[in-house]
């Protein structure tokens, strides 16, 4: 039987899980930045540059976060299936 270290599928799954974690961290951080900047804009006044940064943070955050969430579900599902089938 292959171990987790020598199994290329498990190695790839671990690598993808690390990328998912980083993607979620970046995506949620960009959403947090957008919220902070929004409330700064509410308290002060919205400038064109501030609005552009908020929109960019939301768009980039969405583009990073959406695939990370989907891939996170895929990794967890594959891991759960391996446990149910007794492969791990």
Res 82 pLDDT > 90:
no
Instruction: Give the 3-state secondary structure of residue 5.
Output: coil
In total, the chain counts a number of residues equal to 88
Q: Give the C-alpha separation, 41 to 31, whole Å.
A: 15
How confident is the model over 5-56, as pLDDT tens digits?
Answer: 578 888 999 999 999 999 999 999 999 999 999 999 999 999 999 999 999 9
How confident is the model over 67-80, as pLDDT tens digits?
Answer: 999 999 999 999 99
Tokens of 62: 């969405």
Model-wide pTM > 0.85: no
């Amino acid at each position: 039987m292959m171990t987790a270290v020598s199994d290329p599928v498990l190695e790839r799954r671990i690598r993808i899980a690390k990328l998912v974690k980083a993607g979620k961290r970046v995506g949620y951080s960009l959403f947090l930045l957008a919220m902070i900047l929004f409330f700064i804009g509410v308290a002060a006044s919205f400038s064109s540059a501030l609005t552009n940064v908020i929109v960019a943070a939301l768009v980039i955050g969405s583009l990073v976060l959406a695939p990370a969430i989907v891939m996170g579900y895929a990794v967890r599902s594959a891991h759960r299936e391996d446990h149910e089938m007794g492969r791990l």
